[in-house]
Structure 1
Amino acid sequence: MATVEQARAALSRLTDAGSGRPMLELGWVQDPRLQGERAVIRLALPSFAQSQRDRIASEAREALLNLEGVRDVQIELAQPEAAGAAAAPSGAPIGAAGHGPSSAPGQPPQRQEIPGVGQVIAVSSGKGGVGKSTVAVNLACALAQQGLRVGLLDADIYGPNAPTMLGVAGRTPEVSGEGAAQVLRPMQSCGIAMVSMGLLIDANQPVIWRGPMLNGIIRQFLYQVDWGERDVVVVDLPPGTGDAQLTLAQAVPMAGVIVVTTPQEVSLADARRGLAMFQQMGIPVLGVVENMSGFIPPDAPEKLYPIFGSGGGARLAKETGVPLLAELPLEMPVREAGDGGRPVVLTAPHSATARGFTALAERVTALAAVPL
């Protein structure tokens, strides 16, 4: 019959895909024990590693079933809120289970700054498909071109596209630290540091999470990432008005939010609701970005075709009393750069869209009082 020592030796070969560290060392696989012909282990994964749960469980099961006399494997799952509880990278406690600040019953949640981060700016949209992630990624790169130390938090959990746009899809971030002090190391690309759910799951793996799990991963992306010293972190929010927006608004002080829309009414209607939500929560709205303001054909760059209408962003800004920050045209280089993994502000800096992103970054820096 196998021994517990043999079980631990078998499990010691299971490693984290990013850091290469053993799961036992990380504390993600715990308490191996033998009960007759059954081997029992406990998985205690932090929220940022929940996407690896099925793979880890499968590999652990296979390793244990190869032991002499083991016919069955039982896997116990710890609640993610209790797993991987951590302090902020500075070492200061950040509340119960390491997921952010707590507050007294009946009191509003206490917002807590991210250690080492100067400003947090969110990019939001009322609906999907308006180019929100394109705006967030290019804004982050344009801010970095101003000499700022920039982070990008891709909080669009259900549609994480930032890794593709920044050329790091398929790579896995490292985990550093021990036990309760484990943190993710951001991926470095295009002059910025970024984290994304897209770095933690397979390309075709859907994220099917309820609100509490979603809240947990966003808080861990805020407080259990080794951001280092950053002048600004840009947060790419999921579209709509829901748990992710509420979690971010309650967790961390924000310099403001940018609302992205297209000129057409079906986009404007949702953008109005999203903008109103942030105003009701007391989050400053820096302004509106109208994306896809018109199409510039490559064979006639002097022309602009308003295929989605015109003036919608200006009307929304006027009726809500916020600035119109930019009107960004749609050009072929935008698509090519996004698919190619280097944003258009880097690959085609003289294009109309890239110049628009550069001007947007300058306005945001002034409005959010980001020190240069």
Structure 2
Amino acid sequence: MAKIENSGTKAAPPLPVQRTRPLPRKKAKTVTEQLLEELAVAGGRIVKREASGRETEKWPIRVAAARRSGKIPAAKELHAGWCNDGHEIRLVDTPAWRLAQGQRCDFLILQEQDRTEHIPTKKELADAEKHSWVRIPRYDTSPAERLRICVGGGLRHRAGEWADAADCPLEDQLAEIVQEVGLRGEAAERKRLADLEPAREKRLQWEAAMQRAKIDFAEAARVQHLEAQERAWRRATGLAEYVGALRLHAQTLATGPERNGAEAWIAWAADHVERLNPLNGTLRLPEIPEPRASDLEPFLHGWNPYGPGYSAPTDCHRAYSERDGRARASHQPTPSPTTEKGTAQSRIAICSEESPSMPDDSPDMDGGVRQTCVTSVKSASRYRP
């Protein structure tokens, strides 16, 4: 068996495997972008006629979406309409007579008339003699070889009409007409920007008022939470003193069923007082709910929460918002670190303290606080021992 001699050269190490990164995906073109590309290739005019009628009917909607997209060049306009071959779409230059946004400049081209004295015919004379209502015209008109251009819209600077004259034909006045249109366009744009400035300032003031209102709303919610905790703490402190008196009284009772029942009642009462006291829970900043429009009205000082273009809320709107707020408050538990049982009992305590302090003829007592107290007592009755 022949021996295989090892050559002096070593085998080349294998090349490292090169990992190719995946090619980035091309962003799919929108219908508007595809439409503009087709128009650019076709020279500004295409006719869409799909195989199915439903697809062809979608093109007016697509053209309207393309106009709203803001992707059409500034100096171009998209025109569309039905023709014999389908739906025609054209990309045309913006006409010079469009002065500014929402402003138009109208052109009227008239052919002037020559007037000559009318010579009545025999038939006209006979008809006028026979019928009293027949009137013979005094002049005859015929089209002349002169034109008149009238420009309307915008602020007039030099003139509004130009006509052919013997010493100055209309062709020599075209430069003046174009200059007049440009001046009216500049004036219209200045007026538009001037009108937008007060609206922009009003919008900024409204946004600042909304920010302040949200801050004031959050501050008021924290104050309300703090006051509710203080009321719960005072209530728990008074009940704790009463539970201490119960313990002293229970020690005087003889051993037996009566003392056992008293001790069970005292144990439940002590547990309830512990749950009611906010100091036994975690103390932290309360979570501020997202304010609604009606919640921000008291802090906006006359601004409308729906926008600067709306009028200030009237007394009727405020009354409705207050009733709505009271209805929401009647379904919200008192903010305290208690269970459902303790929350229901604390509602009874708050109602029993607040209701007598209100006068009987208060408009809120009929549908607001009194109804809330009755509902709270009913919902808490099942927790009574």
TM-score (norm 1): 0.18
Between Structure 1 and Structure 2, whose CA radius of gyration is higher?
Answer: 2
By relative contact order (CA 8 Å, sep 6+), the higher-ranking structure is 1
Give the structure with the higher percent helix: 2
